[in-house]
């Protein structure tokens, strides 16, 4: 690949990779941001909707407890068993239950509570007297009846008797079920407390209302998850997720622990606020306060699907980058081959295949440029025709391979005699051409310029040549040097003049009849020629073949 094509290909490849990287990063962030916006909007909507449902559930529990507490049969029963009869505290729970359930009013009120809890899907509705004893309950006729149970010190019962209402989340004592307890005070006509009615709603039943795309958590002020749509969060502590100022650092009045903490930490540098890593998984958090200030609703939108999406974007970008890079390299290779082919064609069209010098076409093109430049700068043009005398004899004596080497060597030696700006080319066969520029002066100055060129070029070819084990002395070539004024002479006229002068020089250099041989061979190379199988041929060649022939 040509250096320029290599550099351009490398530059385009780097630009392509930077473009794909930057554009891919921007598009990935944009897509992820849109996904986050969708998740945030969805979580926000679910948080508001679920909060309304949970508020209605808590309101319904309080309303049911308040309604039952004002039912005439319940008030009558509470008046009858305002406190435990004497000696009842010495009995077992079963004995107390048996004594209470003998009363038809206890059974009647219990049946009413049972129908109501069945309709509303409550775990239990029950009534306690001022002695904290359960007088009747919706499950009074069942084996696991709580009638006769004494719930002394339960916060929701204490609050109901003191303030008129009470509520608590706790673990049921009998079946260890996480449940919500809401109580309302039973009062007589003078608003004096007679006992309380409690509604028990299991957390597992409330969780059925926390439906949606995301995870919904009901969390108390200690950070404990009291209800969750995902069982893995149930009864764990997520205090770090509560809004500032809502966490209750003091122990609660009930007997429940705050729950085992979950690993919770905020995610730094998030595109959307409130991103948290909980138990090793990323979530988008939305908080929603509830009407009951004892609880907060938290909605968690899982961000786990975003990581595979990022990986897909990475691989998609990598594939696009690799495909584009392969295409760029392929195009660069094709472009390089095309450029090399054009260079080869241009070289073949303008350069001599043997010597590597400019050929006739290139000489003529450069000569036209020199004529144009000379007219613009008021200079003259020098054209030297050089003919290698007796080149055929070299071929016949030593073979064409030596002849070719001789031409190459002549071109190399002539190059040493060039001025800066001169051009040497092979006109064809054993002829070379040198062109250059000279100052435009009178005839004497032009003759001096031509003589100077002759003095530079002619000696370059004279001397001993050692080629492939053969050595001989070459006396030089014939030169015809024409100097033209471009304003009055044409290119072709100048070439014809140089050619004419070259033939005149060749005629002048010819050896007179019976004269000297054209070249001499040193003794040290004569044996090499003989060993090459030429016999006496070099000697005959030195004699010129015929008397008087150069």
pLDDT digits (tens, 9 = 90+) for 368-424: 999 999 999 989 999 999 999 989 999 999 999 999 999 999 999 999 999 999 999
Q: Domain for residue 520, yes or no? A: yes
Across 214-244, b (16+ Cβ under 10 Å) vs e yields: bbbbbbbbbbbbbbbbeeebbbbbbbebbee
Whether the pLDDT of residue 259 is over 70: the answer is yes
233-248: per-residue pLDDT in tens?
999 999 999 988 888 7
Give the count of domains, the chain. Answer: 1
Q: Which residues contact 211 (CB under 8 A, 6 or more apart)?
A: 229
The span from the CA of 51 to the CA of 219, in Å, is 12
Q: Of 249-263, 386-400, 508-522, where does mean pLDDT reach its minimum?
A: 508-522
The span from the CA of 529 to the CA of 12, in Å, is 59
Q: What is the mean pLDDT of residues 202-212?
A: 92
Whether the pLDDT of residue 495 is over 60: the answer is yes
Q: Domain for residue 279, yes or no? A: no
Q: How confident is the model at residue 445 (pLDDT cuts 50, 70, 90)?
A: confident
The confidence score (pLDDT) of residue 519 equals 46
The span from the CA of 68 to the CA of 75, in Å, is 9
The span from the CA of 325 to the CA of 310, in Å, is 22
The confidence score (pLDDT) of residue 546 equals 33
- Report whether 349 contacts 361 (CB < 8 A): yes
Whether the pLDDT of residue 166 is over 90: the answer is yes
Whether the pLDDT of residue 442 is over 90: the answer is no
Q: What is the mean pLDDT of residues 518-542?
A: 40
The confidence score (pLDDT) of residue 492 equals 92
Q: Give the number of other Cβ atoms within 10 Å of residue 283's Cβ.
A: 25
Q: Of 184-188, 276-280, 311-315, 509-513, where does mean pLDDT reach its minimum?
A: 509-513
Whether the pLDDT of residue 543 is over 70: the answer is no
Between residues 507 and 526, which one has the greater pLDDT? 507
Summary mean pLDDT of the chain = 87
The confidence score (pLDDT) of residue 246 equals 83
Between residues 256 and 178, which one has the greater pLDDT? 178
276-290: per-residue pLDDT in tens?
999 999 999 999 999
The confidence score (pLDDT) of residue 542 equals 34
Q: What is the mean pLDDT of residues 172-195?
A: 89
Which of 411, 432, 434, 412 is closest to 422 using CA atoms? 434
Which of 258, 261, 301, 268 is closest to 283 using CA atoms? 301
- Report whether 235 contacts 259 (CB < 8 A): yes
The confidence score (pLDDT) of residue 550 equals 32
Q: How many residues does the chain have?
A: 550
**What is the domain-level CATH number for residue 507?**
3.30.70.270
Q: What is the mean pLDDT of residues 2-7?
A: 85
Whether the pLDDT of residue 547 is over 90: the answer is no
217-235: per-residue pLDDT in tens?
999 999 999 999 999 999 9
The span from the CA of 358 to the CA of 424, in Å, is 7
Q: What is the mean pLDDT of residues 39-57?
A: 94
Residue 432 bridge partners (DSSP): 386, 426
- Report whether 416 contacts 460 (CB < 8 A): yes
Tell me which residue range forms the domain holding 531.
360-543
The span from the CA of 290 to the CA of 277, in Å, is 24
The confidence score (pLDDT) of residue 268 equals 75
Q: How confident is the model at residue 463 (pLDDT cuts 50, 70, 90)?
A: very high
Is this structure's pTM higher than 0.95? no
Q: What is the mean pLDDT of residues 149-176?
A: 88
The confidence score (pLDDT) of residue 516 equals 44
DSSP structure string for 33-51 = HHHHHHHHHHHHHHHHHHH
Q: Domain for residue 1, yes or no? A: no
Q: Domain for residue 423, yes or no? A: yes
Whether the pLDDT of residue 549 is over 50: the answer is no
Q: Domain for residue 449, yes or no? A: yes
Q: Domain for residue 492, yes or no? A: yes
The confidence score (pLDDT) of residue 532 equals 42
Q: What is the mean pLDDT of residues 89-115?
A: 93
| Helix (H), strand (E), coil (C) string for 179-248 | EEEEEEEEECCCCCEEEEEEEEEEHHHHHCCCCCCCEEEEEECCCEEEEECCHHHCCCECHHHCCCCCCC
Pair type for strands 478-484 and 470-474: unpaired
The confidence score (pLDDT) of residue 503 equals 93
310-349: per-residue pLDDT in tens?
899 999 999 999 999 999 999 988 888 888 888 788 878 8
Round the CA-based radius of gyration of the chain to a whole number and report it.
57
Q: Domain for residue 180, yes or no? A: no
Q: Domain for residue 214, yes or no? A: no
Please report, rounded to a whole number, the percentage of residues in the chain having pLDDT higher than 90.
67
Tell me if residue 145 falls in helix, strand or coil: coil
Whether the pLDDT of residue 464 is over 50: the answer is yes
Q: Of 275-284, 463-472, 488-497, 535-544, where does mean pLDDT reach its minimum?
A: 535-544
- Report whether 197 contacts 65 (CB < 8 A): yes
Q: Which residues contact 443 (CB under 8 A, 6 or more apart)?
A: none
- Number of C-alpha atoms within 13 angstroms, CB side, residue 384? 29
The confidence score (pLDDT) of residue 256 equals 66
10-45: per-residue pLDDT in tens?
999 999 999 999 999 999 989 988 999 999 999 999
Q: Which residues contact 495 (CB under 8 A, 6 or more apart)?
A: 367, 383, 385, 482
Q: What is the mean pLDDT of residues 296-323?
A: 92
Residue 262 bridge partners (DSSP): none
What would you measure as the largest C-alpha separation in the chain, in angstroms?
A: 171
């Amino acid at each position: 690949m040509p250096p320029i094509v290599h550099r351009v290909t490398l530059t385009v490849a780097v630009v392509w990779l930077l473009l794909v990287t930057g554009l891919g990063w921007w598009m990935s962030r944009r897509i992820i941001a849109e996904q986050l916006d969708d998740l945030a909007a969805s979580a926000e909507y679910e948080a508001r909707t679920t909060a309304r449902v949970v508020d209605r559930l808590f309101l319904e529990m309080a309303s049911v407890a308040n309604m039952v507490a004002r039912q005439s049969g319940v008030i009558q029963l509470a008046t009858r068993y305002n406190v435990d009869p004497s000696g009842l505290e010495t009995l077992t729970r079963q004995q107390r239950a048996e004594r209470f359930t003998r009363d038809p009013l206890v059974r009647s009120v219990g049946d009413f509570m049972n129908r109501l809890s069945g309709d509303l899907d409550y775990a239990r509705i029950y009534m306690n007297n001022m002695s904290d004893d359960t007088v009747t309950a919706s499950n009074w006729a069942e084996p696991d009846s709580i009638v006769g149970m004494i719930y002394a010190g339960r916060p929701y019962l204490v609050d109901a008797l003191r303030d008129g209402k009470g509520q608590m989340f706790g673990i049921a004592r009998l079946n260890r079920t996480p449940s919500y307890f809401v109580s309302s005070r039973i009062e007589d006509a003078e608003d004096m407390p007679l006992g309380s009615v409690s509604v028990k709603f299991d957390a597992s039943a409330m969780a059925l209302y926390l439906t949606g795309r995301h995870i919904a958590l009901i969390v108390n002020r200690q950070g404990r998850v009291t209800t969750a749509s995902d069982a893995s969060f149930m009864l764990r502590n997520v205090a770090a997720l509560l809004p500032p100022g809502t966490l209750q650092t003091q122990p609660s009045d009930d007997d429940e622990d705050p729950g085992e903490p979950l690993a919770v930490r905020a995610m730094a540098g998030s595109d959307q606020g409130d991103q948290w890593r909980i138990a090793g998984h990323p979530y988008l958090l939305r908080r929603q306060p509830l009407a009951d200030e004892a609880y907060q609703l938290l909605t968690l939108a899982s961000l786990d699907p975003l990581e595979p999406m990022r990986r897909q974007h990475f691989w998609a970008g990598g594939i696009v980058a690799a495909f584009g890079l392969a295409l760029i390299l392929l195009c660069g290779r094709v472009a390089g081959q095309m450029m090399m082919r054009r260079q080869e064609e241009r070289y073949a069209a303008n350069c001599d295949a043997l010597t590597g010098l400019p050929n006739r076409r290139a000489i003529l093109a450069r000569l036209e440029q020199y004529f144009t430049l000379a007219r613009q700068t008021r200079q003259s043009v020098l054209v030297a025709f050089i003919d290698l005398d007796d080149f055929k004899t070299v071929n016949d004596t030593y073979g064409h391979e030596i002849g070719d080497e001789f031409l190459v060597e002549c071109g190399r030696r002539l190059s040493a005699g060039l001025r800066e700006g001169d051009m040497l080319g092979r006109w064809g066969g054993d002829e070379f051409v040198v062109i250059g520029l000279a100052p435009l002066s009178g005839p004497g100055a032009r003759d001096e310029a031509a003589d100077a060129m002759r003095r530079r070029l002619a000696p370059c070819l004279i001397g001993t040549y050692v080629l492939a084990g053969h050595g001989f002395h070459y006396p030089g070539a014939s030169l015809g040097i024409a100097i033209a004024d471009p304003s009055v002479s044409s290119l072709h006229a100048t070439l014809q003049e140089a050619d004419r002068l070259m033939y005149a020089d060749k005629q002048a250099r010819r050896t007179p009849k019976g004269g000297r041989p054209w070249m001499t061979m040193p003794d040290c190379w004569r044996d090499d020629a003989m060993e090459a199988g030429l016999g006496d041929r070099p000697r005959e060649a030195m004699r010129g073949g015929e008397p008087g022939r150069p």
